[in-house]
């Protein structure tokens, strides 16, 4: 595949030139070569996109929800036809192994659009309470600012539900992994969504993100990314009292209780920590284990980590692709060094690149044990294939460790008895908890407690996020 040049942004139903003249380069995370370019959008582009979205809002909001859902279903069909293309692009941009990309990076966005007719049909748009008719109405123009790690999935989680709610959208995809978003723009153009309902302005957070978050005609911002950037978005929205939804960082704990199937729990836990090379906000990066089983867990975790063969995402046998960028690689190396310097025991992996993989942002799958609660690697989001093992002596201490975090996005509990596992899961203050390896449900509410964010995505809860509630007193 040659250089992919996307030299236009999508405003008011058309691909148009940016008001700016600069282009941003997109790097292939495996080859470290430039794979494409996109426009470096400007505040003027945001003004144009927001004006288009504002003008389109009354007509789109008045369109019956079933009709809006049909558009989403058509977009899903378009994504289904281009799944391999999307998976290939994201594997090149982000580094996820291609076989997983097809299921996750292409499959989940398809699901978000495809499930909309069902969500809309089941949703309680109106209800009675005493002498009041309670109605739900679209919030208005939505600014969607999305990250690079699950790029199209995070876009779809916002755009599909905002459109279904009757909102119009201005999207800023991550400039690090943006090419997949342009495929969605192509599909939306093909299905004939009314002009102005969806708009795409590529560019940096400093230029385009700030302009969206501070724009007086953007009624709501839905942001996914780092907690630091999320705080800035929230600050800009609060200055004009605009609604905001934030899905931010995580440092999720995986509590393994003494009566659990330890080998199964550890193998599963290493996989959950290293998914997408650890570039996952909900990754189970803290394994909390009984102290008397620590040596056994270390051995099992080392075996599981060593089996996660790093390599080209398109090569057979690769289990772990590269990180997204040099900056991310440097950051993760810093955390591995910090863990060792603070006294953690290196069980697998370590610093430097894996043998034979000098090109590409590859990291050795790393396990650090004897980690204590105060260490940086126990508190800060690393966003790489690095697992911290923290031992505990009592169940109460295990729960304390799990909750000893500024974050509260996800978690896991393993126990021999399901009811016991559920009881412990209820004590963990996070938005999601996997019980004995329970599968991710892309239609269940997703979002965090504490500094992991505000609001929920997916399913009925994802639709509610983009709605206002009005009481008509009769």
- State how far the Cα of 382 lies from the Cα of 387, in Å rounded to an integer: 9
- State how far the Cα of 284 lies from the Cα of 255, in Å rounded to an integer: 10
The dihedrals phi and psi of 279, each to the nearest 5 degrees, come to -85, 60
Q: Which two tokens stand for residue 385?
A: 């294939």
Sheet holding 467-473, edge to edge: 126-129, 132-138, 467-473
> What is the per-residue DSSP string for 55-82?
HHHHHHHHS-HHHHHHHHHHHHHHHHHT
The dihedrals phi and psi of 123, each to the nearest 5 degrees, come to -80, 140
Report the length, in residues, of the chain: 474
Contact (Cβ atoms closer than 8 angstroms) between residue 233 and residue 213 = yes
Identify which of 26, 99, 139, 122 has the alpha carbon closest to the alpha carbon of residue 467.
Answer: 139
* List of residues 6+ apart from 335 with CB closer than 8 A: 376, 377, 380, 382, 384, 386
Q: Which of 247, 381, 434, 457 is catalytic?
A: 247
Burial environment of residue 228 by CB neighbours within 10 A (0 to 12, 13 to 18, 19 or more): exposed
Q: State the pairing for strand pair 220-224/198-200.
A: unpaired
- State how far the Cα of 294 lies from the Cα of 288, in Å rounded to an integer: 10
Q: Which of 72, 167, 237, 281 is catalytic?
A: 281
Distance of CA 447 to the CA centre of its chain: 10
Contact (Cβ atoms closer than 8 angstroms) between residue 173 and residue 181 = yes
Contact (Cβ atoms closer than 8 angstroms) between residue 38 and residue 9 = no
Contact (Cβ atoms closer than 8 angstroms) between residue 202 and residue 38 = yes
- State how far the Cα of 474 lies from the Cα of 349, in Å rounded to an integer: 67
Q: Which H helix or E strand runs over 340?
A: helix 326-341
- State how far the Cα of 197 lies from the Cα of 216, in Å rounded to an integer: 18
Question: Catalytic: 247?
Answer: yes
> What is the per-residue DSSP string for 224-292?
ES-HHHHHHHHHHHHHTT-EEEEE-----EEEE-TTS-HHHHHHHHHHHHHGGGG--TT---EEEEEGG
> What is the per-residue DSSP string for 386-406?
EEEEEEESSHHHHHHHHH-SS
Give the residue numbers marked as catalytic: 247, 281
């Amino acid at each position: 595949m040659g250089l992919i040049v996307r030299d236009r942004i999508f405003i008011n139903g058309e691909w148009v030139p940016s008001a700016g003249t600069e282009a941003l380069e997109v790097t292939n995370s495996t080859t470290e070569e430039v794979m494409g370019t996109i426009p470096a959008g400007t505040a003027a582009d945001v003004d144009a996109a927001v004006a288009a979205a504002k003008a389109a809002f009354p007509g789109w909001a008045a369109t019956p929800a079933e009709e809006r859902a049909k558009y989403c279903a058509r977009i899903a069909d378009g994504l289904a036809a281009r799944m391999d293309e999307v998976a290939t692009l994201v594997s090149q941009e982000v580094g996820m192994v291609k076989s997983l990309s097809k299921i996750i990076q292409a499959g989940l966005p398809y699901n978000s659009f495809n499930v909309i007719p069902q969500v809309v049909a089941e949703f309680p748009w109106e209800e009675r309470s005493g002498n009041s008719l309670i109605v739900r109405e679209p919030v208005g123009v939505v600014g969607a600012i999305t990250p690079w790690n699950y790029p199209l999935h995070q876009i779809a989680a916002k755009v599909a539900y905002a459109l279904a709610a009757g909102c119009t959208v201005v999207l800023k995809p991550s400039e690090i992994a943006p090419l997949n978003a342009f495929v969605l723009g192509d599909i939306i153009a093909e299905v004939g969504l009314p002009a102005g309902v969806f708009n795409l302005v590529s560019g940096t957070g400093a230029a385009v993100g700030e302009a969206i978050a501070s724009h007086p005609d953007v009624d709501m911002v839905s942001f996914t990314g780092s907690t630091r950037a999320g705080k800035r978005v929230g600050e800009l929205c609060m200055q004009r009292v605009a609604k905001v939804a934030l899905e931010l960082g995580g440092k999720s704990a995986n509590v393994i209780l003494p009566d659990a199937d330890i080998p199964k729990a550890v193998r599963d836990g290493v996989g959950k920590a290293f998914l997408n090379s650890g570039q996952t906000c909900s990754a189970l990066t803290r394994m909390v284990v009984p102290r008397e089983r620590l040596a056994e867990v270390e051995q099992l975790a080392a075996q599981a980590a060593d089996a996660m063969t790093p390599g080209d995402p398109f090569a057979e046998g690769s289990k772990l692709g590269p990180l997204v960028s040099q900056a991310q690689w440097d950051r993760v190396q810093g955390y591995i060094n910090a863990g060792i310097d603070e006294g953690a025991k290196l069980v697998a992996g370590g610093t430097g690149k894996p043998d034979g993989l000098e090109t590409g942002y590859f990291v050795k799958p790393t396990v650090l044990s004897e980690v204590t609660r105060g260490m940086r690697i126990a508190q800060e989001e690393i966003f790489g294939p690095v697992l911290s093992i923290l031992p505990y002596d009592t169940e109460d201490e295990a729960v304390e460790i799990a909750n000893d975090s500024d974050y509260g996005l996800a978690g896991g509990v393993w126990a021999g008895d399901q009811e016991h596992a559920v009881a412990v899961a209820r004590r963990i203050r996070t938005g999601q908890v996997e019980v004995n390896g329970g599968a991710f449900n892309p239609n269940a509410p997703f979002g965090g407690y504490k500094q992991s964010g505000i609001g929920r995505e997916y399913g009925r809860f994802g639709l509610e996020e983009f709605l206002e509630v009005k009481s008509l007193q009769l």
